[in-house]
Structure 1
Protein backbone atom coordinates (compact mmCIF):
# COMPACT_ATOMS: atom_id res chain seq x y z
CA UNK A 1 0.00 0.00 0.00
CA UNK A 2 1.28 3.47 -0.86
CA UNK A 3 1.78 6.26 1.60
CA UNK A 4 -0.90 8.97 0.99
CA UNK A 5 1.32 11.72 2.39
CA UNK A 6 4.27 10.97 0.11
CA UNK A 7 1.91 10.62 -2.89
CA UNK A 8 0.52 14.09 -2.16
CA UNK A 9 4.03 15.51 -1.82
CA UNK A 10 5.10 13.96 -5.13
CA UNK A 11 1.97 15.31 -6.85
CA UNK A 12 2.56 18.75 -5.34
CA UNK A 13 6.19 18.77 -6.45
CA UNK A 14 5.19 17.67 -9.95
CA UNK A 15 2.53 20.40 -10.07
CA UNK A 16 5.04 23.05 -8.95
CA UNK A 17 7.51 21.86 -11.61
CA UNK A 18 4.74 22.08 -14.21
CA UNK A 19 3.79 25.62 -13.13
CA UNK A 20 7.44 26.73 -13.20
CA UNK A 21 7.86 25.33 -16.73
CA UNK A 22 4.68 27.09 -17.89
CA UNK A 23 5.86 30.38 -16.37
CA UNK A 24 9.21 30.07 -18.13
CA UNK A 25 7.48 29.38 -21.46
CA UNK A 26 5.19 32.36 -20.96
CA UNK A 27 8.11 34.62 -20.05
CA UNK A 28 9.93 33.52 -23.21
CA UNK A 29 6.86 34.30 -25.37
CA UNK A 30 6.59 37.76 -23.79
CA UNK A 31 10.29 38.38 -24.37
CA UNK A 32 9.82 37.38 -28.02
CA UNK A 33 6.79 39.68 -28.24
CA UNK A 34 8.75 42.59 -26.78
CA UNK A 35 11.59 42.08 -29.27
CA UNK A 36 9.13 41.84 -32.17
CA UNK A 37 7.29 44.97 -31.00
CA UNK A 38 10.57 46.90 -30.82
CA UNK A 39 11.15 46.12 -34.52
CA UNK A 40 7.72 47.38 -35.62
CA UNK A 41 7.57 50.46 -37.79
CA UNK A 42 4.69 51.89 -39.77
CA UNK A 43 4.74 54.40 -42.63
CA UNK A 44 1.98 56.55 -44.07
CA UNK A 45 1.76 59.27 -46.68
CA UNK A 46 -0.27 62.46 -46.60
CA UNK A 47 -3.38 62.56 -48.75
CA UNK A 48 -1.62 64.60 -51.43
CA UNK A 49 1.54 62.47 -51.27
CA UNK A 50 3.89 65.32 -50.41
CA UNK A 51 4.93 63.88 -47.03
CA UNK A 52 5.62 60.34 -45.84
CA UNK A 53 6.26 59.65 -42.17
CA UNK A 54 7.58 56.46 -40.56
CA UNK A 55 7.07 55.83 -36.83
CA UNK A 56 8.45 53.22 -34.47
CA UNK A 57 6.41 51.09 -32.08
CA UNK A 58 6.24 53.97 -29.59
CA UNK A 59 4.86 56.34 -32.24
CA UNK A 60 8.11 58.33 -32.54
CA UNK A 61 9.12 59.63 -35.96
CA UNK A 62 12.02 57.63 -37.39
CA UNK A 63 11.87 58.88 -40.97
CA UNK A 64 10.34 61.84 -42.78
CA UNK A 65 10.31 62.23 -46.54
CA UNK A 66 9.02 65.32 -48.29
CA UNK A 67 8.69 65.67 -52.04
CA UNK A 68 9.86 68.70 -53.99
CA UNK A 69 6.22 69.67 -54.52
CA UNK A 70 6.41 71.46 -51.15
CA UNK A 71 8.21 74.31 -52.90
CA UNK A 72 4.84 75.31 -54.30
CA UNK A 73 3.07 75.05 -50.95
CA UNK A 74 2.73 77.38 -48.02
CA UNK A 75 4.35 76.50 -44.73
CA UNK A 76 0.89 75.84 -43.29
CA UNK A 77 0.09 73.36 -46.07
CA UNK A 78 3.40 71.53 -45.55
CA UNK A 79 2.78 71.33 -41.80
CA UNK A 80 -0.73 69.94 -42.36
CA UNK A 81 0.60 67.32 -44.79
CA UNK A 82 3.31 66.18 -42.36
CA UNK A 83 0.93 66.05 -39.38
CA UNK A 84 -1.67 64.20 -41.43
CA UNK A 85 0.88 61.55 -42.44
CA UNK A 86 2.14 61.31 -38.85
CA UNK A 87 -1.33 60.80 -37.38
CA UNK A 88 -2.19 58.21 -40.01
CA UNK A 89 1.01 56.25 -39.38
CA UNK A 90 0.49 56.34 -35.62
CA UNK A 91 -3.14 55.22 -35.96
CA UNK A 92 -1.96 52.11 -37.85
CA UNK A 93 0.23 51.00 -34.91
CA UNK A 94 -2.47 49.11 -32.95
CA UNK A 95 -3.33 46.90 -35.94
CA UNK A 96 0.32 46.13 -36.68
CA UNK A 97 1.06 45.43 -33.02
CA UNK A 98 -2.03 43.21 -32.87
CA UNK A 99 -0.51 41.08 -35.63
CA UNK A 100 2.76 40.77 -33.72
CA UNK A 101 0.96 39.84 -30.53
CA UNK A 102 -1.19 37.26 -32.30
CA UNK A 103 2.04 35.55 -33.38
CA UNK A 104 3.60 35.60 -29.91
CA UNK A 105 0.99 35.74 -27.13
CA UNK A 106 -2.19 34.57 -28.86
CA UNK A 107 -3.11 32.53 -25.80
CA UNK A 108 -3.41 35.70 -23.69
CA UNK A 109 -6.13 37.81 -25.33
CA UNK A 110 -6.75 39.82 -22.17
CA UNK A 111 -3.20 41.18 -22.08
CA UNK A 112 -3.28 41.81 -25.83
CA UNK A 113 -6.57 43.71 -25.54
CA UNK A 114 -5.28 45.89 -22.69
CA UNK A 115 -2.10 46.79 -24.59
CA UNK A 116 -3.93 47.47 -27.87
CA UNK A 117 -6.60 49.49 -26.04
CA UNK A 118 -3.86 51.67 -24.63
CA UNK A 119 -2.39 52.20 -28.10
CA UNK A 120 -5.80 52.98 -29.61
CA UNK A 121 -6.42 55.58 -26.90
CA UNK A 122 -3.01 57.15 -27.48
CA UNK A 123 -3.12 56.99 -31.30
CA UNK A 124 -6.76 57.24 -32.45
CA UNK A 125 -7.84 57.24 -36.05
CA UNK A 126 -7.25 60.73 -37.48
CA UNK A 127 -10.23 62.95 -38.10
CA UNK A 128 -11.23 62.89 -41.77
CA UNK A 129 -9.99 65.94 -43.60
CA UNK A 130 -12.71 68.16 -45.04
CA UNK A 131 -13.14 67.65 -48.73
CA UNK A 132 -11.84 70.53 -50.77
CA UNK A 133 -14.00 71.63 -53.65
CA UNK A 134 -11.95 71.82 -56.84
CA UNK A 135 -11.87 75.34 -58.37
CA UNK A 136 -13.85 74.29 -61.45
CA UNK A 137 -16.72 73.07 -59.27
CA UNK A 138 -17.14 76.39 -57.51
CA UNK A 139 -19.78 78.77 -58.68
CA UNK A 140 -18.43 80.62 -61.66
CA UNK A 141 -15.11 78.81 -61.31
CA UNK A 142 -13.85 81.60 -59.07
CA UNK A 143 -11.82 80.84 -55.99
CA UNK A 144 -13.43 81.21 -52.59
CA UNK A 145 -13.14 84.69 -51.23
CA UNK A 146 -10.34 85.05 -48.72
CA UNK A 147 -11.28 85.57 -45.14
CA UNK A 148 -11.60 89.21 -44.18
CA UNK A 149 -8.80 90.53 -42.04
CA UNK A 150 -9.83 91.24 -38.47
CA UNK A 151 -10.79 94.88 -37.93
CA UNK A 152 -7.94 97.09 -36.82
CA UNK A 153 -8.37 99.07 -33.64
CA UNK A 154 -9.12 102.73 -34.23
CA UNK A 155 -6.10 105.02 -34.40
CA UNK A 156 -5.56 107.21 -31.45
CA UNK A 157 -5.06 110.85 -32.25
CA UNK A 158 -1.48 111.98 -31.90
CA UNK A 159 -0.73 114.03 -28.84
CA UNK A 160 -0.21 117.72 -29.52
CA UNK A 161 3.39 118.54 -30.29
CA UNK A 162 4.48 122.07 -29.63
CA UNK A 163 7.89 121.57 -31.27
CA UNK A 164 6.65 120.68 -34.74
CA UNK A 165 7.85 124.00 -36.19
CA UNK A 166 4.89 124.19 -38.49
CA UNK A 167 5.50 120.89 -40.27
CA UNK A 168 2.08 119.46 -39.44
CA UNK A 169 2.68 117.37 -36.35
CA UNK A 170 5.01 114.63 -35.21
CA UNK A 171 6.91 112.67 -37.84
CA UNK A 172 6.63 109.30 -36.08
CA UNK A 173 3.31 108.04 -34.77
CA UNK A 174 3.01 104.93 -32.63
CA UNK A 175 0.09 102.70 -33.56
Structure 2
Protein backbone atom coordinates (compact mmCIF):
# COMPACT_ATOMS: atom_id res chain seq x y z
CA UNK A 1 0.00 0.00 0.00
CA UNK A 2 2.84 2.38 0.84
CA UNK A 3 4.61 1.46 -2.38
CA UNK A 4 1.42 2.18 -4.38
CA UNK A 5 1.06 5.59 -2.70
CA UNK A 6 4.69 6.42 -3.53
CA UNK A 7 4.20 5.36 -7.17
CA UNK A 8 1.04 7.44 -7.43
CA UNK A 9 2.80 10.48 -5.94
CA UNK A 10 5.64 10.00 -8.41
CA UNK A 11 3.18 9.85 -11.35
CA UNK A 12 1.50 13.05 -10.15
CA UNK A 13 4.86 14.84 -9.91
CA UNK A 14 5.65 13.66 -13.44
CA UNK A 15 2.23 14.90 -14.57
CA UNK A 16 2.82 18.31 -12.99
CA UNK A 17 6.21 18.63 -14.68
CA UNK A 18 4.78 17.55 -18.04
CA UNK A 19 1.84 19.96 -17.74
CA UNK A 20 4.22 22.84 -16.98
CA UNK A 21 6.00 22.11 -20.27
CA UNK A 22 2.84 22.22 -22.39
CA UNK A 23 2.53 24.94 -24.99
CA UNK A 24 0.04 25.29 -27.80
CA UNK A 25 0.16 27.46 -30.92
CA UNK A 26 -2.58 28.60 -33.26
CA UNK A 27 -2.80 30.91 -36.25
CA UNK A 28 -5.55 33.31 -37.25
CA UNK A 29 -7.74 32.24 -40.17
CA UNK A 30 -5.90 34.55 -42.55
CA UNK A 31 -2.49 33.49 -41.22
CA UNK A 32 -1.36 36.99 -40.28
CA UNK A 33 -0.96 36.20 -36.57
CA UNK A 34 0.29 33.12 -34.72
CA UNK A 35 0.10 32.93 -30.94
CA UNK A 36 1.72 30.42 -28.59
CA UNK A 37 0.42 29.99 -25.04
CA UNK A 38 1.81 28.10 -22.05
CA UNK A 39 -0.09 25.67 -19.85
CA UNK A 40 -1.72 28.56 -17.97
CA UNK A 41 -2.95 30.17 -21.19
CA UNK A 42 -0.40 33.00 -21.05
CA UNK A 43 1.11 34.26 -24.30
CA UNK A 44 4.70 33.11 -24.70
CA UNK A 45 5.18 33.96 -28.39
CA UNK A 46 3.47 36.18 -30.93
CA UNK A 47 4.34 36.23 -34.61
CA UNK A 48 2.79 38.65 -37.07
CA UNK A 49 3.38 38.58 -40.82
CA UNK A 50 4.14 41.62 -42.95
CA UNK A 51 0.63 41.45 -44.39
CA UNK A 52 -0.51 43.51 -41.40
CA UNK A 53 0.83 46.60 -43.19
CA UNK A 54 -2.22 46.41 -45.41
CA UNK A 55 -4.65 45.95 -42.52
CA UNK A 56 -6.35 48.33 -40.13
CA UNK A 57 -5.49 48.22 -36.45
CA UNK A 58 -8.89 46.66 -35.78
CA UNK A 59 -8.24 43.88 -38.27
CA UNK A 60 -4.81 43.15 -36.74
CA UNK A 61 -6.30 43.07 -33.24
CA UNK A 62 -9.04 40.68 -34.39
CA UNK A 63 -6.45 38.37 -35.99
CA UNK A 64 -4.30 38.30 -32.84
CA UNK A 65 -7.26 37.73 -30.52
CA UNK A 66 -8.64 35.03 -32.80
CA UNK A 67 -5.32 33.17 -32.75
CA UNK A 68 -5.03 33.62 -28.97
CA UNK A 69 -8.50 32.27 -28.26
CA UNK A 70 -7.96 29.33 -30.59
CA UNK A 71 -4.64 28.44 -28.93
CA UNK A 72 -6.17 28.69 -25.46
CA UNK A 73 -9.14 26.54 -26.55
CA UNK A 74 -6.67 23.81 -27.63
CA UNK A 75 -5.15 23.64 -24.14
CA UNK A 76 -7.72 21.32 -22.52
CA UNK A 77 -7.24 18.62 -25.18
CA UNK A 78 -3.45 18.85 -25.04
CA UNK A 79 -3.45 18.74 -21.24
CA UNK A 80 -5.80 15.76 -21.32
CA UNK A 81 -3.30 13.92 -23.55
CA UNK A 82 -0.39 14.70 -21.22
CA UNK A 83 -2.37 13.66 -18.17
CA UNK A 84 -3.50 10.41 -19.79
CA UNK A 85 0.16 9.58 -20.46
CA UNK A 86 1.20 10.24 -16.86
CA UNK A 87 -1.82 9.40 -14.64
CA UNK A 88 -3.93 7.38 -17.04
CA UNK A 89 -5.46 5.32 -14.24
CA UNK A 90 -7.16 8.36 -12.66
CA UNK A 91 -9.76 9.62 -15.15
CA UNK A 92 -11.65 11.52 -12.44
CA UNK A 93 -8.68 13.82 -11.72
CA UNK A 94 -7.98 14.22 -15.43
CA UNK A 95 -11.62 15.03 -16.21
CA UNK A 96 -11.82 17.54 -13.35
CA UNK A 97 -8.69 19.42 -14.42
CA UNK A 98 -9.53 19.31 -18.13
CA UNK A 99 -13.08 20.44 -17.33
CA UNK A 100 -11.80 23.46 -15.43
CA UNK A 101 -9.60 24.37 -18.41
CA UNK A 102 -12.58 24.01 -20.77
CA UNK A 103 -14.57 26.38 -18.57
CA UNK A 104 -11.71 28.88 -18.50
CA UNK A 105 -10.83 28.58 -22.21
CA UNK A 106 -13.97 27.67 -24.17
CA UNK A 107 -14.07 27.19 -27.90
CA UNK A 108 -14.01 30.62 -29.58
CA UNK A 109 -17.22 32.00 -31.01
CA UNK A 110 -17.42 31.66 -34.78
CA UNK A 111 -16.46 34.89 -36.48
CA UNK A 112 -19.32 36.61 -38.30
CA UNK A 113 -19.27 36.45 -42.06
CA UNK A 114 -17.98 39.82 -43.25
CA UNK A 115 -19.88 39.46 -46.55
CA UNK A 116 -23.17 38.10 -45.24
CA UNK A 117 -26.31 39.90 -44.13
CA UNK A 118 -25.69 42.75 -41.75
CA UNK A 119 -22.10 43.27 -42.88
CA UNK A 120 -21.13 46.86 -43.47
CA UNK A 121 -19.53 47.77 -46.75
CA UNK A 122 -16.18 49.55 -46.70
CA UNK A 123 -15.24 48.87 -43.07
CA UNK A 124 -15.47 46.21 -40.39
CA UNK A 125 -18.83 45.80 -38.71
CA UNK A 126 -17.46 46.43 -35.24
CA UNK A 127 -15.38 49.49 -36.09
CA UNK A 128 -16.92 52.54 -34.48
CA UNK A 129 -18.55 55.02 -36.80
CA UNK A 130 -16.68 58.27 -37.23
CA UNK A 131 -18.09 60.99 -35.03
CA UNK A 132 -19.42 63.96 -36.97
CA UNK A 133 -18.15 66.45 -34.41
CA UNK A 134 -15.69 65.91 -31.60
CA UNK A 135 -17.10 66.07 -28.08
CA UNK A 136 -16.61 69.38 -26.28
CA UNK A 137 -13.62 69.56 -23.95
CA UNK A 138 -14.35 68.93 -20.30
CA UNK A 139 -13.87 71.93 -18.05
CA UNK A 140 -12.27 71.22 -14.68
CA UNK A 141 -14.57 71.63 -11.71
CA UNK A 142 -13.53 74.39 -9.31
CA UNK A 143 -12.37 73.22 -5.91
CA UNK A 144 -14.52 74.17 -2.98
CA UNK A 145 -12.79 75.66 0.02
CA UNK A 146 -13.04 73.65 3.24
CA UNK A 147 -15.86 74.71 5.59
CA UNK A 148 -14.91 77.08 8.39
CA UNK A 149 -13.92 75.52 11.70
CA UNK A 150 -16.90 76.01 14.02
CA UNK A 151 -15.64 74.30 17.18
CA UNK A 152 -17.59 71.10 16.56
CA UNK A 153 -14.30 69.22 16.59
CA UNK A 154 -14.69 68.15 12.97
CA UNK A 155 -18.12 66.57 13.36
CA UNK A 156 -20.56 67.40 10.59
CA UNK A 157 -17.86 68.53 8.14
CA UNK A 158 -15.94 66.55 5.57
CA UNK A 159 -13.94 63.67 6.96
CA UNK A 160 -11.02 64.15 4.59
CA UNK A 161 -9.91 67.42 3.04
CA UNK A 162 -7.50 67.55 0.11
CA UNK A 163 -4.87 70.22 0.32
TM bracket (short chain): 0.7 to 0.9
1:144 aligns with 2:126: no
Q: CA deviation at 1:145?
A: 6.1
Unmatched runs of 5 consecutive residues or more in structure 1: 1-18, 156-175
Give the aligned partner of residue 96 of structure 2. 114
Q: CA deviation at 1:131?
A: 1.6
Unmatched runs of 5 consecutive residues or more in structure 2: 137-163
Higher relative contact order (CA 8 A, sep 6+): 2
Equivalent residue pairs, number: 130
SS at match of 2:24: strand
TM-score scaled to structure 2, two decimals?
A: 0.73
Q: Could you give the per-residue CA deviations for residues 86-143 of structure 1, whole angstroms, max 9, x where no partner exists?
A: 0000000000001001101111011001100100000000000012229xxx9xxxx8
Higher helix share: 1
CA distance in 1, matches of 2:70, 2:62: 12
Give the aligned partner of residue 32 of structure 2. 50
Match of 1:77 among 50, 59, 63: 59
Q: 1:148 to 1:56 in 2, by over 3 A?
A: closer
Q: CA deviation at 1:20?
A: 1.0
Give the aligned partner of residue 105 of structure 2. 123
CA distance in 2, matches of 1:90, 1:152: 41
TM-score scaled to structure 1, two decimals?
A: 0.68
CA distance in 2, matches of 1:50, 1:62: 17
Which one has the largest radius of gyration? 1
Q: 1:144 to 1:105 in 2, by over 3 A?
A: same
Give the aligned partner of residue 93 of structure 1. 75
What does 1:19-38 correspond to in 2, within 5 Å? 19-38=1-20
Give the aligned partner of residue 159 of structure 2. none
CA distance in 1, matches of 2:129, 2:6: 68
